[in-house]
Amino acid sequence: MAKCTQIANRLQAYVDSELHGSDHVILEQHIAECHDCRVQLASFQRTSAHLFETFSAVRLDRDLTQYVLEHLPEMGQSAIDVAGVNFRAKHPTRRRERLVRLVPIAAAVLLVFLAAVLNENWPPPAMAQGTIGIVAFSSGEVDKYENRSTVRHDAGVGTLWSHGDRFETGGKSSLMLMLLGPTELRAAENTRVLVHDDRKLSLEKGHVFLDVAGSKQLFKVLTPMGEITVFGTRFDVRVGSERTTVIVEEGEVQLVSAADESVFTIIRRGQTASVSPGQTSIRPRDADIALATEWARHIVADDEARTLFASRIQPLHRTSQVSGRPGYIVDTLDKPVEAIILEWEPAKAFVEYADYEIFVYNDRSESLFRSRIDGSVFSNPGVTSYEIKNTGDKRENLTHIFVILVPDVADGKREVHIKDLIARIGT
Q: What is the DSSP code string of 215-233?
A: -SSPEEEE-SSEEEEESS-
Residue 59 inside a domain? The answer is no
Cβ atoms of residues 273 and 237 within 8 Å: no
Which pLDDT value is given to residue 77? 55
Single-letter residue type at 238: R
Q: Pick 91 or 31 by higher pLDDT.
A: 31
The answer as to whether 196 is a domain residue is yes
* 216 is a domain residue: yes
Q: Is the pLDDT of residue 4 over 80?
A: yes
309/419 same-domain check: no
329-360 pLDDT tens trace: 888 888 999 999 999 988 887 788 889 999 99
252 and 186 in one domain? yes
Quick one: what percent of the chain has pLDDT higher than 90? 39
- Strand 337-344 relative to strand 418-425, pairing: antiparallel
User: In this structure, are 360 and 230 located in the same domain?
Assistant: no
What is the number of domains present in the chain? Answer: 4
Q: What contacts 404, CB < 8 A, 6 or more positions away?
A: 254, 266, 326, 327, 328, 358, 359, 360, 361
Q: Which amino acid is at 420?
A: D
Q: Which domain holds residue 202?
A: 131-316
> Which residues are paired to 275 by β-bridges?
244
Local confidence band at 373 (pLDDT 50, 70, 90 cut-offs):
very high
Mean pLDDT score across all residues of the chain: 84
- Asked if residue 381 has pLDDT above 70, the reply is yes
Residue 320 has pLDDT above 50, yes or no: no
User: Model confidence at 220, in pLDDT bands (50, 70, 90)?
Assistant: very high
Is 286 part of any domain?
yes
Average pLDDT for residues 205-218, to the nearest whole number? 88
Rounded mean pLDDT of 356-375? 90
- Do 140 and 246 have their domain in common? yes
Q: Is residue 126 part of a domain?
A: no
Q: Residue 412 contacts by C-beta under 8 Å, 6 or more apart in sequence?
A: 352
* Confidence check: pLDDT of 262 > 80: yes
Task: Decide: 180 and 314 in contact? Cβ < 8 Å.
Answer: yes
Q: Check whether residue 307 and residue 397 sit in a common domain.
A: no
Burial of 116: CB neighbours in 10 Å, binned 0-12, 13-18, 19+: exposed
pLDDT of residue 245: 96
156 and 261 share a domain? yes
Answer whether 158's CB lies under 8 Å from 302's CB: yes
The answer to whether the Cα torsion of 38, 44, 47, 48 is positive or negative is negative
pLDDT-derived band at 100 (thresholds 50, 70, 90) equals low
Which residues are within 8 A (CB) of 419 and not within 5 positions of it... i.e. 6 or more apart? 343, 344, 345, 384
Closest by Cα among 159, 154, 98 to 308 = 159
Name the residue with higher pLDDT: 112 or 253. Answer: 253
pLDDT at residue 61, rounded to an integer: 67
User: Residue range 223-252: average pLDDT?
Assistant: 93
297 and 317 in contact (C-beta within 8 Å)? no
Instruction: Look at residue 202 and tell me whether its pLDDT is greater than 50.
Output: yes
Query: How many whole angstroms separate alpha carbon 226 and alpha carbon 357?
Result: 16
For residue 267, give the nearest of 281, 244, 287, 247 by alpha carbon. 247
139: domain CATH number is 2.60.120.1440
Instruction: Kindly report which listed range (23-37, 76-90, 357-371) carries the lowest average pLDDT score.
Output: 76-90
Residues 297 and 148 in one domain: yes
Q: Is the pLDDT of residue 388 over 50?
A: yes
**Single residue among 121, 146, 176 that ends a domain in this structure:** 121
67: in domain = no
- Based on the fold, state whether residues 112 and 47 are members of the same structural domain: no
Domain co-membership, 345 together with 308: no
Report the C-alpha gap between 193 and 177 in whole angstroms. 11
Q: Are residues 240 and 266 in the same domain?
A: yes
Q: In this predicted structure, what is the pLDDT of residue 321?
A: 43
Q: Is residue 113 part of a domain?
A: yes
Q: Are 92 and 165 part of one and the same domain?
A: no
Residue 142 domain-assigned (yes or no): yes
CATH number at residue 379: 2.60.40
| 386 and 411 belong to one structural domain | yes
* Mean pLDDT, residues 267-290 taken together: 93
